[in-house]
C-alpha cells in the first residue's frame, strides 16, 4: 500500500450555501446546489446519492434540461454552464460564458438557449438578463459567446426573475419596480409600487413567481405582503390584489402545478398555502425549524421542497403534510457550545436550531436527533433577546449531559444550568435537575470529571463563571414525595482566586487534579480536598485554553494565551517546560492518545500543529490548510483504528480530527485519496446492505460462522482472505437482478473461474465454500472489526501468506484436519 | 405678540349622521346620498364634488333606498312604508305613496327609469309606474315569506333578482312568477345559521352577484341556479355591492370598514375566458360600509362613520390632477355656525336643536403661539329644541346677539334673547308673517334691524325687526326673470344698502335695499357658488366657486374689479386649485381693507390683495419658510396667500373685531368616540 504524500483537506458537511432553488427530477431525485457542488438526494431515502463537483465557485443555478429530463444545467460564479448526466454524475459539456453567472433559467420554448443573469460590463452592481445560445458543436469544453440582452437592470438574486406561462413573458423585480417583457410582442411594461416605509419595513420586491397557466404574477415583498398582478399587458389598467399573512420578508413563492394554490415562505418558518388567491382560504405548515429560503415544486406536483437558511431541506406533500427532511449539519447562528462528541453515539453535538442541541452523525452526514434544551417557543422577531444554549458537557459514559442556557440581557444575563440523565427506556435524555442562576454572570466553561469508572460518586461537574468563582456540583441522593430514591445535583464547593474571572477549567486524566484558569493565572486544585495546589503564570495575556496531557504525558498542563503563547508546564516540578510563540485559537487534546492539536490563525490562514506535550517539536505541521478561520476542532475516535502508512500521520490512527470553520463548514483531514473515500458511498447503493434479515439467513449465518471459525482454526485463512473486490463475477452474479441475467450455463464457467485461486490447488467443494464465506464476511464484519482489518492488512500479499501458513502445518495437524473433515456437522443445523 | 387673538373653539359637539345609501345618477353627474337621520344630499361631480343640495331629515322618514328615475327625479323609500319623491328645486319631500307592504327595505329602478320595484317586509315585490307628477302602483310580483332586502333589475328589464334571508329569487317581470329560487346557505358542522343576502346585482350576462352576512361575494348562474364563483372577502358581513356600468368592476363594502374591488379580467392575454378577481382592498372607514356606488371613474363608499369616500380609479384618469385625488367628506359643505360679533356669541346648529354659547375671555397677552389662560370660561347659554319630527334647515343669530331665528320644513321661528346679568331669557316672537317656507338661509343685517330669509323660487323676504320683539314683512325680492330654484346663500352689505342672493342655478342677484329693486346680476359662471360676502368698505362682492376660483365684483360699478381681472388673467396657484374642500365662509378685516379672510375644512387663509399673486413655481404654503428668512429676503418672498393649517377640521372661522379671531374645530377623534365601537379585529402585533 503506497502511502499518500500529503493529508487532504476534505469538506464533509455543513456550511455550504444553497445558491439556488432545488430541482426535482422526473424520477423522484432531488437536485440541490450546495456550495460549489450539485448534490443529488433520493427523495425516498433522504440519502445523498451523488455529489457532482467541477465548478470552481458557488453554483448559482440548476435547471433540468427541458428537452431531456435526464440532464441538468448548472451555472456558477466561475462563469461556466455545465450540462450533467446526473444519473451517472458525469459532466457532458461545459460552456464557458466568461462573466459571473448569477442565475440560470432554462425554458422548453427556447430551443437551444438558456437565460442567465450576468453583471453589466463597466457598471458596478447592475445586472442584466441575457439569453445564451448553447452551441451544438462536438467536444466537451465549448465557448458560449452568443449573448443577447433580454432585460436590463435586474436584481442579482435568482428569485427576482420568473418566466410566465409557456415562456410568453419574463418578469423581473428590483426594489420597487416590476418589469414584464413579452417575447412575442417585444413589449416591455414597467410598474412600480410606492416606496412607502412603514414600521414593518419597506415594500421592496423580494421574489417573484408566475402562474403556470394564467397571466398572473405573484410578488413577495419585504413587508410580508404578497401581491398578485393581473392585466399587466396594459400599461395603465393593470391591477393587483394583496395577500398578507407574513410579518416579515416573504422569502420565496411557488405556484402549484395547476396554479390553483400558491405557496409562500419566510422567516417565520411557516409554509403558507393560499388557495384560489383568496386571503381567507389559507393553510399553514408551521414549525419547519428555520427560515425558508427557497421553495420548489416537483414536476408532478405531488411534492414541494423548501431549502432553509440553516441548510435543512424539507420535503412536503401536496396536502401540506410534512414528508421528510434531509438535514446534515444544521447551521446555527452561533456555535457557542463548541464541538462535543457524544460518548454513546459518537455523534458530534453542537448548537442546532435555536435552543436545541443537535446530534450529528459524521458517518452518514445526517442529523440523528435534536434535543430541545430551552423548551420554549421560538419567536421570530428581530431584536428580541432569545434564550440560547451556550455550554454543553457530557460525562465520560454519556449518561449525564449538562447544558447551560443564557438569555442575553444588557444588565444581567438570565442563566440556567440543566442536568439531563440518559433514560435507557425512552432512549433519550430526561431532565434531572434545573438550576437557575448557577452563577451571577456568564458561565465561561464547564466540564465533568472525566473518569471511566462507573461509580456515580466520582461524577463531579465544574462550572466557571465571569463572576470570579468556579463551582463544583455533585450528585446528592434524596427521596421524592412518593418515597422513591432519586438523585439531584447541588453545589458542593465554590472556589475563587484573587477575585479574577474564571475562564477555563479542565480535569486531569485520572481526575485527581482540576485546573482552573483565572484570567492570566492557571490554578491547580486537588479534586478531593479542594485545596489550591499550585499556580502557574506566564507572560502577560489571559489564558484562552488549557488542557492536561494524556497517557504518558499526563504530568503536563498545556495553556494558550491570547498574547500568542503556547505554554507547557510540568506538574511535578511545577515549572515551565517549554513555550512557543503561536497565536492559538483552538487547543484540542486527543482523548485516545497523547497528541494535542493546536490551530493558529495568522492574518488570513489557519495552520494546524500537532504535538506531544513531552517534546516541544511538533509532530505534524500543516500550514495554510484553510482560508477561513477555524472556529472549533474536535478529535472523534474512530470505530476502528485506521491503517496509516506514513509515520507522520500516525496521530490520525485512533481518532479523526474535524474542524468547523467560520461559515460552519465541517472539514476533516484524510489520508485516503478521493477514490478511496468515495467507495463507501457507492457501496451504500449496493443491494446487499439493505437485505432484510430473515430467520433463515440467521440460521444459515450461525451455521456458517461455526464452520468458518473451525476453518480458521484449521489455518484455512486463505478462504477468508479472498477479498470481495477481486471477484467482479461474483458481484455481478449476486447483484444483477434475476431477469436481466444471462443463462446460468453461460455464467457458470465464468463464475467458477473467477473463484479459482491462480495456483489452482483448491478443489471444487472448497470453491463453493469460499463463496459462502465471502458473503458471510460482510455480515460479520461489524462483530469482528478488528480481525477483519488485520486480515485485510495481511491481504496485501495473499500468495506469500498462503505459502507461509501452509508451511507451518505439521503432520499431526494435518491428521487432525482430515479427522475433522470426516466428522458429521449435521447436528449444528438443529440449532 | 401675534397678529390675532384666536378663540380656539372645540365645544361644537356635532356628530354627522352615518351614510345609509348612495345612488349615482345614471348617465349623469350627480350622486344622491341618504343619511341615517333621513337627510338626503346631492353631490355634483361636475363641479368638483360640491355638496349641491341638502334636504334635512325627518324623524319618521328614514331612507333605506334611493334611486334616480326618469332622468333626474329622485325617489327614496324607507321603513315608514312610503315611497317619497324629492323636489330638488325646493329641497323638500314632494309627495309620498304608501307601498302597502310594511317597511320598505329596497328599491330599484329599471334601466330607462320608467318603473320602480320595491321590496317590502312582507316579502312582496311591487312594481310602480313612474308617471309625470308621481308614481302609480302597477302590480305585485309573486309573494313569498321573508323580507326582501335587496333588489336588482336585469339590464334588459325582463327579470328582477331579489335577495332575502337564506334565499335569492329571480322574478319574471312579464308573468310576475318566480323563475328561479337559489338557497344561499351556510353550514358549519351541521348547524345551519341564518344567511342574510345584503346586496344583489344582476349582470347582463345572466350572472347574479350577491353579498351576504358570511363575508362572501358569490356569483350565480341565473339559468341553472348554480354557484359559479365564491370569494370570501371578510370574516364579517359584506353589506353593500355596486357594479360599474360596463360590468367589468364591482365594489363591495364590509362591516369592518374595508371595501374591495373585483375586476373581470381575462385569464390569458388575448383569450375570451374572463374571471372575477378580487383586486384592491381599501380601508378608509372604521365602521360598517353601508353603501357603495361605482361611478365611471371612481369607487364611492359611505359608512356609518359619516364619511363619504371617493376613490378615483387611476387607470381611468387621463392625468394626475384634481380628479385623481382621493377625497373624504365628513362635514357638510355649508356653515352650521353663526356668530354674533358684537355680543361674542356662537350659535351652533344641530339636526334638531340649536346651542347658543358665549365665548370665554382673557385679560392677558402673550407671545405668538402661546396659549393664554382664560379668566372667564365659555358658557352654554341656551339650548333651543325644535319641536316636531322635522329637522332644522338653517339658523342664524343677529350680530347684536339679541335675535335668533331658525327654520324647519314647515315652520319658521324667531326668538328674542335678553341678557340680564348672568341670566338669559328667551322669548318667541308671536304672530310671524306668513312666508313661503321652508327658508334655506337666514341672514341678519349688520345693524340687526332686519332679517333676510332665502326662500324658494329665487325669492328673498325682508323682515323688519321691531323692538321689543316683533317683526313685520317688509318686502319680497324676486329675480327679474324668475327662477325655479331656491336661494341657498345670502350676503348683505355692512351699510345696509345691498343684499346678494345665490339660487340653486348658481345665478347671483344683487338687490338694492333702499328701493327694494333688483340692482344687477353677476355674470353667470359654470360652477357652484360656495361662499360669498360683501366688503364693508368698498362694497365689492367676493365670490368663491367650487372649482376654487375667486372673483371680486364691484356692486356700484356692476363689473368685476381690476384685481379680479388680474386674478383671472394670471390664474391661481396650482396647489390652491387642487384643494378638495370648498371655501365655506368669507369675511373681511375692517382694519385692513385689502385683506380677505377665507377658510375651508383644512385651512384658514388671509388673502392680501396688495401683494403679488404667487406663480406655480413659488411655494403656496410659505409661512413656515418665511419665518426663518431675514427681513429683506422675506419681502421678496411675500405673496398674496397667507395660509394657516393649524386648525383642523375647521368648521367655522370669523373675525370678532380687529384683532380677534374665532375658530371652530371639530377633531375627528372626538367624533370617533361618539360612535359605537367598531367590530373587534385581531391585529398582528397588538
Is A168 within 8 Å of B269 when comparing Cβ atoms? yes
Contact B233 A238 (CB under 8 A): no
Model pLDDT, residue A778: 41
B559 and B420 assigned to the same domain: no
Q: Which of B295, B310, B329 is the C-terminal boundary of a domain? A: B329
Q: In what order do the strands lie in the sheet with B216-221?
A: B197-202, B207-212, B216-221, B226-232
Same domain, B217 and B152: yes
Longest dimension (CA), chain A: 105
Q: Are residues B298 and B342 in the same domain?
A: no
Phi, then psi, of A684 in degrees rounded to 5: -60, -30
Whether residues B426 and B286 share a domain: the answer is no
Residues B279 and B303 in one domain: yes
Mutation to test the A interface, candidates B235, B269, B274, B280, most A Cβ within 10 Å: B269
User: Do B295 and B430 belong to one domain?
Assistant: no
Contact A168 B684 (CB under 8 A): no
B277 and B351 belong to one structural domain = no
Do B231 and B100 share a structural domain?
yes
Smallest CA–CA distance from A276 into chain B, residue: B231
Residues in contact with A234: Cβ distance below 8 Å, sequence separation at least 6, in sequence order: B315
Distance (Å, rounded) from C-alpha B193 to C-alpha B186?
6
Once rounded to an integer, what is the mean pLDDT over residues A212-226? 91
pLDDT at A254 over 60: yes
Shortest alpha-carbon distance between residue B241 and chain A (Å): 18
The full length of chain A comes to 831
Q: Residue B569 and residue A614: Cα distance in Å, rounded?
A: 103
- Percentage of chain B surpassing pLDDT 90? 55
Phi and psi, residue B507, nearest 5°: -85, 135
The pLDDT-based confidence of B681 (bands split at 50, 70, 90) is confident
Decide: A347 and A370 in contact? Cβ < 8 Å. Answer: no
Chain A: give the shortest CA distance to residue B229, in Å.
10
pLDDT (tens digit, 9 = 90+) per residue, B229-238?
A: 999 888 889 9
- The closest alpha carbon to B376, from B391, B351, B359, belongs to B359
The DSSP code for B392 is P
Q: B167: domain CATH number?
A: 2.130.10.10
Q: Which of B356, B357, B331, B362 is nearest to B585 (CA)?
A: B331
Mean pLDDT of B271-289: 89
**Residue ranges in B445-589 assigned as alpha helix (H):** 562-570, 574-577
Q: What confidence category does residue A250 fall into, taking pLDDT thresholds of 50, 70 and 90?
A: very high
Tell me the pLDDT tens digit for each residue of A716-740: 444 444 444 456 666 666 766 677 6
In CATH terms, are A8-158 and A197-328 the same topology?
Answer: yes
User: Cβ(B519)–Cβ(B510) under 8 Å?
Assistant: yes
Going by C-beta distance under 8 Å and a sequence separation of 6 or more, which residues neighbour residue A538?
A559, A561, A565, A567, A576, A579
Alpha carbon separation from B288 to B200, B237, B678 (Å, rounded): 17, 9, 8
For chain A, the residues whose C-beta falls within 8 A of a C-beta of chain B are 165, 168, 213-215, 228, 230-231, 233-234, 236-242, 247, 277-281
Is residue A562 scored above 90 in pLDDT?
no
Residue of A168, A241, A281 with shortest CB distance to B279: A241
Average pLDDT, integer, range B56-68: 91
Residues paired with residue B320 on neighbouring β-strands, in sequence order: none
Residues of A in contact with B231 (CB under 8 A): 278
CA distance A90 to A83: 9
pLDDT digits (tens, 9 = 90+) for A662-676: 888 888 887 776 545
Contact across the interface for B684 and A247, Cβ inside 8 Å: yes
Q: So what's the pLDDT on residue A301?
A: 87
Q: Is position B516 within any domain?
A: no
**What is the tens place of the pLDDT at every residue in B411-429?**
899 999 988 877 888 989 8
CA gap B267, B276 in Å, rounded: 9
The Cα B361–Cα A60 span in angstroms is: 76
The C-alpha atoms of residue B295 and residue B289 are separated, in whole angstroms, by 17
Nearest to B538 by CA among B612, B594, B611, B607: B594
A239 contacts B265? CB cut-off 8 A: yes
Q: Which of B215, B268, B315 is closest, CB to CB, to A236?
A: B315
| Domain identity same for B189 and B304 | yes
Q: Are residues B551 and B448 in the same domain?
A: no
Query: What is the CATH topology of the domain spanning A197-328?
Result: Methylamine Dehydrogenase; Chain H (2.130.10)
Which chain B residue has its CA at the smallest distance from A282's CA? B232
Distance separating alpha carbons of residues B521 and B524, to the nearest angstrom:
8
Domain ranges of chain A: 8-158, 197-328
- pLDDT tens, residue by residue, B91-115: 989 889 998 889 999 999 999 889 9
* Rounded CA Rg of chain A: 32
Q: Which residues contact B368 (CB under 8 A, 6 or more apart)?
A: B1, B2
Q: What are φ and ψ of residue A65, in 5° steps? A: -65, 120
**What pLDDT shows up at residue A726?**
52
**Quick check: A801 pLDDT over 60?**
no
Q: How many CA atoms lie within 13 A of A228 on its CB side?
A: 30
**Mean pLDDT throughout B318-330?**
76
Indicate the residue among B306, B329, B352 that finishes a domain.
Answer: B329
Inside any domain, residue B489 = no
Cell of B284: 378608509
Nearest to A333, CA basis, from A352, A320, A348, A359: A352
Shared domain for B324 and B195, answered yes or no, is yes
Residue pair B310/A272 in contact (Cβ under 8 Å)? The answer is no
- The CATH number given to A8-158 is 2.130.10.10
d(Cα B160, Cα B156) in Å, to the nearest integer? 10
* Nearest alpha-carbon partner for B121 in B151, B146, B150, B141: B146
B371 and B317, same structural domain? no
Secondary structure of residue B521 in the 3-state scheme = strand
Residue B501 lies in a domain: no
Question: Angle A744-755/A764-780 helices, nearest 10 degrees?
Answer: 80
Q: Is residue B506 part of a domain?
A: no
Q: Give the nearest chain B residue to A259 (CA atoms).
A: B267
Per-residue confidence band for A763, with pLDDT thresholds at 50, 70 and 90: very low
- Do residues B403 and B36 lie in contact, with contact meaning Cβ atoms separated by under 8 Å? no
Q: Give per-residue pLDDT as tens, A394-417.
A: 988 888 899 999 887 767 778 899
* Residue A701: pLDDT band with limits 50, 70, 90: low
Here the cell at position A565 is 503563547
Would the CB atoms of A279 and B684 count as touching at under 8 Å? no
Q: Nearest to residue A47, comparing CAs of A659, A665, A657, A680?
A: A680
* CA distance to partner chain B, nearest, from residue A164 (Å): 11
Task: Read off the DSSP letter of residue A675.
Answer: H
CA distances from A289 to A224, A269, A528, B21, B569 (A): 19, 6, 45, 51, 70
Using CB atoms, pick whichever of A230, A236, A278 lies closest to residue B265: A230
Range of the domain at B148: 19-329
Domain total in chain B: 3
What local confidence, expressed as pLDDT, does residue A729 receive?
65
Beta carbons of A258 and A211 less than 8 angstroms apart: no
The mean pLDDT of chain A is: 80
Q: Are strands B660-665 and B5-9 parallel, antiparallel or unpaired?
A: parallel
Q: Give the 3-state secondary structure of residue A747.
A: helix
Residue A474 DSSP SS3: strand
Spatial distance between the Cα atoms of A325 and A755, rounded to a whole number of angstroms: 44
Best B258, B278, B685 member to test A by mutation, with max A CBs in 10 Å, is B278
Task: Give Cα B36 to chain centroid, integer Å.
Answer: 13
Other CB atoms within a 10 A radius of the CB of residue A413 amount to 18
Burial of residue B170 (CB within 10 Å: 0-12, 13-18, 19+) is buried
CA distance A286 to A378: 12
DSSP structure class, residue B39? -
Choosing from B416, B449, B478, the residue where a domain stops is B478
- SS3 call for A124: coil
When comparing pLDDT for A803 and B210, which is higher? B210
For A42, the grid coordinates are: 433520493
Nearest to B306 by CA among B677, B65, B34, B48: B34
Q: Strand, coil or helix: what is A674?
A: helix
Question: Using the beta-carbon criterion (under 8 Å), do B685 and A239 form an inter-chain contact?
Answer: no
Contact B684 A214 (CB under 8 A): no
pTM: 0.77
Residue in A168, A233, A239 closest to B280 by CB = A239
Report the residue of A194, A198, A229, A280 to disrupt the B interface, i.e. the one with the largest count of B CBs within 10 Å: A280
Question: Is the pLDDT assigned to residue A757 strictly greater than 80?
Answer: no
Best residue of A183, A215, A234, A274 to probe chain B, by most B CBs closer than 10 Å: A215
* Run of H or E residues at A753: helix A744-755
Amino acid at each position: 500500500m503506497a502511502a499518500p504524500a500529503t493529508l487532504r483537506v476534505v469538506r464533509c458537511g455543513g456550511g455550504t450555501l444553497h445558491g439556488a432553488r432545488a430541482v426535482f427530477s422526473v424520477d423522484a431525485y432531488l437536485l440541490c446546489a450546495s456550495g460549489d457542488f450539485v448534490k443529488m438526494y433520493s427523495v425516498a431515502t433522504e440519502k445523498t446519492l451523488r455529489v457532482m463537483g467541477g465548478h470552481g465557485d458557488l453554483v448559482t443555478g440548476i435547471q433540468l434540461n427541458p428537452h431531456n429530463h435526464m440532464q441538468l444545467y448548472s451555472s456558477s460564479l466561475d462563469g461556466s454552464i455545465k450540462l450533467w448526466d446526473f444519473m451517472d454524475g458525469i459532466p457532458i459539456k461545459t460552456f464557458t460564458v466568461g462573466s459571473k453567472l448569477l442565475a440560470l433559467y432554462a425554458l422548453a420554448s427556447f430551443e437551444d438557449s438558456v437565460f442567465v443573469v450576468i453583471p453589466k460590463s463597466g457598471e458596478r452592481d447592475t445586472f442584466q438578463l441575457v439569453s445564451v445560445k448553447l452551441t451544438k458543436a462536438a467536444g466537451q469544453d465549448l465557448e458560449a459567446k452568443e449573448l443577447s440582452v433580454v432585460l436590463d437592470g435586474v436584481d442579482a438574486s435568482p428569485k427576482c426573475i420568473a418566466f410566465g406561462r409557456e415562456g410568453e413573458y419574463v418578469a423581473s423585480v428590483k426594489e420597487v419596480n416590476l418589469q414584464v417583457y413579452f417575447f412575442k410582442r417585444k413589449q416591455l411594461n414597467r410598474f412600480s409600487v410606492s416606496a412607502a416605509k412603514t414600521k414593518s419595513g419597506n415594500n421592496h420586491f423580494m421574489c417573484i413567481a408566475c402562474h403556470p397557466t394564467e397571466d398572473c404574477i405573484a410578488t413577495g415583498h419585504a413587508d410580508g405582503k404578497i401581491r398578485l398582478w393581473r392585466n399587466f399587458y396594459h400599461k395603465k389598467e393593470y391591477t393587483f390584489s394583496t395577500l398578507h399573512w407574513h410579518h416579515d420578508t416573504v422569502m420565496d413563492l411557488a405556484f402549484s402545478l395547476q396554479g390553483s394554490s400558491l405557496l409562500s415562505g419566510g422567516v417565520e418558518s411557516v409554509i403558507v398555502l393560499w388557495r384560489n388567491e383568496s386571503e381567507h382560504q389559507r393553510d399553514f405548515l408551521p414549525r419547519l425549524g428555520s427560515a425558508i429560503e427557497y421553495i420548489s415544486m416537483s414536476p408532478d406536483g405531488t411534492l414541494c421542497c423548501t431549502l432553509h437558511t440553516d441548510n435543512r431541506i424539507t420535503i412536503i406533500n401536496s396536502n401540506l403534510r410534512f414528508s421528510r427532511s434531509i438535514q446534515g449539519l444544521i447551521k446555527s447562528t452561533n456555535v457557542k457550545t463548541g464541538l462535543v462528541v457524544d460518548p454513546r453515539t459518537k455523534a458530534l453535538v453542537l448548537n442546532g436550531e435555536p435552543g436545541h442541541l443537535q446530534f450529528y452523525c459524521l458517518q452518514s452526514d445526517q442529523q440523528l436527533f435534536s434535543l430541545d434544551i430551552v423548551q420554549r417557543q421560538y419567536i421570530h422577531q428581530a431584536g428580541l433577546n432569545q434564550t440560547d444554549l451556550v455550554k454543553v458537557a457530557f460525562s465520560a459514559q454519556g449518561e449525564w449531559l449538562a447544558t447551560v442556557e443564557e438569555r442575553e440581557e444588557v444588565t444581567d444575563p438570565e442563566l440556567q444550568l440543566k442536568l439531563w440523565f440518559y433514560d435507557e427506556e425512552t432512549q433519550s435524555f430526561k431532565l434531572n435537575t434545573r438550576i437557575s442562576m448557577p452563577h451571577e454572570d456568564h458561565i465561561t466553561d464547564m466540564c465533568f470529571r472525566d473518569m471511566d469508572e462507573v461509580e456515580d460518586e466520582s461524577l463531579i461537574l465544574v462550572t466557571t463563571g465571569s463572576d470570579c468563582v468556579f463551582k463544583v456540583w455533585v450528585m446528592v441522593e434524596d427521596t421524592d414525595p412518593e418515597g422513591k430514591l432519586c438523585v439531584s445535583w447541588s453545589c458542593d464547593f465554590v472556589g475563587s482566586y484573587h477575585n479574577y474571572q474564571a475562564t477555563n477549567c479542565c480535569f486531569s486524566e485520572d481526575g485527581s487534579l482540576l485546573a482552573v484558569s483565572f484570567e492570566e493565572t492557571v490554578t491547580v486544585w486537588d479534586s478531593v480536598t479542594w485545596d489550591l495546589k499550585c499556580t502557574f503564570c506566564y507572560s502577560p495575556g489571559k489564558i484562552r485554553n488549557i488542557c492536561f496531557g494524556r497517557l504518558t504525558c499526563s504530568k503536563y498542563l498545556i495553556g494558550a494565551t491570547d498574547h500568542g503563547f503556547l505554554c507547557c508546564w510540568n506538574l511535578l516540578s511545577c515549572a515551565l517546560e517549554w513555550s512557543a510563540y503561536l497565536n492559538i485559537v483552538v487547543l484540542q487534546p486527543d482523548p485516545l492518545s497523547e497528541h494535542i492539536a493546536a490551530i493558529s490563525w495568522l492574518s488570513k490562514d489557519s495552520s494546524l500543529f500537532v504535538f506531544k506535550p513531552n517534546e516541544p517539536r511538533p509532530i505534524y505541521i500543516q500550514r495554510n490548510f484553510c482560508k477561513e478561520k477555524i472556529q472549533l476542532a474536535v478529535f472523534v475516535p474512530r470505530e476502528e483504528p485506521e491503517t496509516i502508512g506514513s509515520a507522520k500521520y500516525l496521530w490520525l490512527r485512533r481518532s479523526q480530527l474535524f474542524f468547523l470553520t467560520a461559515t460552519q463548514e465541517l472539514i476533516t483531514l484524510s489520508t485516503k485519496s478521493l477514490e478511496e473515500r468515495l467507495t463507501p458511498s457507492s457501496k451504500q447503493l449496493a443491494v446487499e446492505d439493505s437485505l432484510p434479515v430473515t430467520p433463515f439467513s440467521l440460521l444459515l449465518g450461525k451455521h456458517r460462522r461455526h464452520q468458518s471459525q473451525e476453518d480458521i482454526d484449521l489455518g484455512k485463512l486463505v478462504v477468508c482472505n479472498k477479498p470481495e473486490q477481486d471477484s467482479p463475477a461474483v458481484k455481478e452474479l449476486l447483484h444483477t437482478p434475476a431477469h436481466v441475467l444471462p443463462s446460468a450455463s453461460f455464467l457458470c464457467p465464468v463464475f467458477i473461474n473467477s473463484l479459482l485461486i491462480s495456483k489452482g490447488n483448491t478443489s471444487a467443494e472448497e470453491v463453493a465454500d469460499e463463496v459462502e464465506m465471502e458473503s458471510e464476511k460482510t455480515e460479520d464484519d461489524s462483530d469482528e472489526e478488528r480481525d477483519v482489518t488485520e486480515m485485510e492488512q495481511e491481504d496485501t500479499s495473499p500468495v506469500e501468506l498462503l505459502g507461509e501458513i501452509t508451511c507451518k502445518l505439521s503432520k499431526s495437524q494435518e491428521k487432525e484436519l482430515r479427522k475433522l473433515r470426516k466428522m458429521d456437522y449435521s447436528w449444528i443445523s438443529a440449532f | 405678540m401675534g397678529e390675532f387673538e384666536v378663540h380656539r373653539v372645540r365645544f361644537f359637539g356635532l356628530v354627522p349622521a352615518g351614510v345609509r345609501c348612495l345612488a349615482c345618477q345614471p348617465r349623469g353627474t350627480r350622486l344622491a346620498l341618504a343619511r341615517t337621520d333621513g337627510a338626503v344630499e346631492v353631490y355634483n361631480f361636475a363641479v368638483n364634488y360640491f355638496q349641491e343640495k341638502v334636504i334635512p331629515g325627518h324623524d319618521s322618514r328614514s331612507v333605506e333606498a334611493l334611486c334616480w328615475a326618469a332622468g333626474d327625479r329622485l325617489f327614496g323609500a324607507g321603513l315608514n312604508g312610503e315611497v317619497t319623491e324629492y323636489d330638488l328645486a325646493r329641497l323638500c319631500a314632494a309627495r309620498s305613496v304608501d307601498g302597502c307592504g310594511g317597511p320598505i327595505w329596497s328599491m330599484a329602478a329599471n334601466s330607462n327609469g320608467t318603473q320602480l320595484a320595491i321590496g317590502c317586509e312582507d316579502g312582496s315585490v311591487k312594481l310602480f309606474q313612474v308617471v309625470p307628477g308621481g308614481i302609480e302602483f302597477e302590480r305585485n310580483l309573486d309573494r313569498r315569506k321573508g323580507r326582501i332586502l335587496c333588489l336588482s333589475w336585469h339590464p334588459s328589464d325582463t327579470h328582477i333578482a331579489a335577495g332575502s334571508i337564506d334565499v335569492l329569487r329571480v322574478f319574471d317581470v312579464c308573468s310576475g312568477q318566480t323563475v328561479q329560487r337559489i338557497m344561499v346557505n351556510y353550514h358549519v358542522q351541521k348547524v345551519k345559521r341564518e344567511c342574510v343576502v345584503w346586496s344583489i346585482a344582476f349582470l347582463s350576462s345572466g350572472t347574479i352577484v350577491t353579498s351576504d352576512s358570511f363575508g362572501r361575494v358569490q356569483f350565480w348562474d341565473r339559468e341553472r341556479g348554480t354557484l359559479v364563483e365564491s370569494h370570501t372577502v371578510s370574516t364579517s358581513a359584506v353589506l353593500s355591492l355596486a357594479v360599474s356600468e360596463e360590468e367589468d368592476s364591482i365594489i363591495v363594502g364590509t362591516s369592518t370598514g374595508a371595501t374591495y374591488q373585483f375586476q373581470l379580467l381575462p385569464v390569458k392575454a388575448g383569450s375570451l375566458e374572463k374571471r372575477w378577481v378580487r383586486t384592491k382592498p381599501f380601508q378608509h372607514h372604521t365602521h360598517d360600509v353601508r353603501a357603495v356606488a361605482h361611478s365611471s371613474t371612481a369607487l364611492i363608499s359611505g359608512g356609518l362613520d359619516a364619511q363619504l369616500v371617493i376613490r378615483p380609479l387611476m387607470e381611468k384618469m387621463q392625468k394626475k390632477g384634481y380628479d385623481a385625488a382621493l377625497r373624504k367628506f365628513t362635514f357638510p359643505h355649508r356653515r352650521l355656525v353663526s356668530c354674533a360679533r358684537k355680543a361674542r356669541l356662537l350659535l351652533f346648529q344641530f339636526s334638531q336643536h340649536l346651542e347658543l354659547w358665549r365665548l370665554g375671555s382673557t385679560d392677558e397677552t402673550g407671545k405668538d403661539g402661546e396659549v393664554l389662560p382664560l379668566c372667564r370660561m365659555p358658557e352654554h347659554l341656551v339650548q333651543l329644541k325644535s319641536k316636531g319630527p322635522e329637522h332644522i334647515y338653517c339658523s342664524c343669530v343677529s350680530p347684536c346677539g339679541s335675535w335668533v331665528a331658525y327654520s324647519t320644513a314647515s315652520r319658521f321661528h324667531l326668538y328674542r334673547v335678553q341678557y340680564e346679568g348672568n341670566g338669559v331669557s328667551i322669548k318667541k316672537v308671536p304672530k310671524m308673517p306668513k312666508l313661503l317656507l321652508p327658508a334655506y338661509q337666514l341672514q341678519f343685517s349688520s345693524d340687526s334691524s332686519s332679517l333676510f330669509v332665502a326662500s324658494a323660487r329665487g325669492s328673498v323676504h325682508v323682515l323688519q325687526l321691531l323692538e321689543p320683539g316683533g317683526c313685520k314683512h317688509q318686502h319680497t325680492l324676486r329675480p327679474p326673470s324668475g327662477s325655479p330654484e331656491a336661494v341657498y346663500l345670502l350676503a348683505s352689505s355692512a351699510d345696509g344698502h345691498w343684499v346678494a342672493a345665490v339660487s340653486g342655478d348658481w345665478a347671483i342677484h344683487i338687490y338694492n335695499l333702499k328701493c327694494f329693486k333688483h340692482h344687477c346680476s353677476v355674470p353667470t359662471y359654470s360652477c357652484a357658488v360656495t361662499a360669498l360676502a360683501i366688503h364693508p368698505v368698498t362694497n365689492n362682492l367676493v365670490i368663491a366657486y367650487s372649482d376654487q376660483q375667486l372673483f371680486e365684483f364691484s356692486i356700484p360699478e356692476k363689473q368685476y374689479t381690476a384685481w379680479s381681472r388680474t386674478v383671472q388673467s394670471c390664474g391661481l396657484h396650482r396647489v390652491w386649485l387642487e384643494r378638495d374642500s370648498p371655501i365655506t365662509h368669507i369675511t373681511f378685516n375692517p382694519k385692513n381693507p385689502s385683506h380677505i379672510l377665507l377658510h375651508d375644512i383644512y385651512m384658514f387663509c388671509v388673502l392680501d390683495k396688495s401683494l403679488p399673486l404667487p406663480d406655480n413655481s413659488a411655494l403656496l404654503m410659505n409661512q413656515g419658510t418665511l419665518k426663518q428668512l431675514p427681513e429683506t429676503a422675506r419681502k421678496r418672498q411675500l405673496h398674496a396667500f397667507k395660509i394657516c393649517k393649524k386648525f383642523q377640521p375647521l368648521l367655522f372661522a370669523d373675525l370678532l373685531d380687529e384683532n380677534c379671531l374665532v375658530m371652530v374645530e371639530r377633531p375627528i377623534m372626538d367624533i370617533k368616540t361618539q360612535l359605537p365601537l367598531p367590530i373587534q379585529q385581531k391585529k398582528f402585533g397588538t
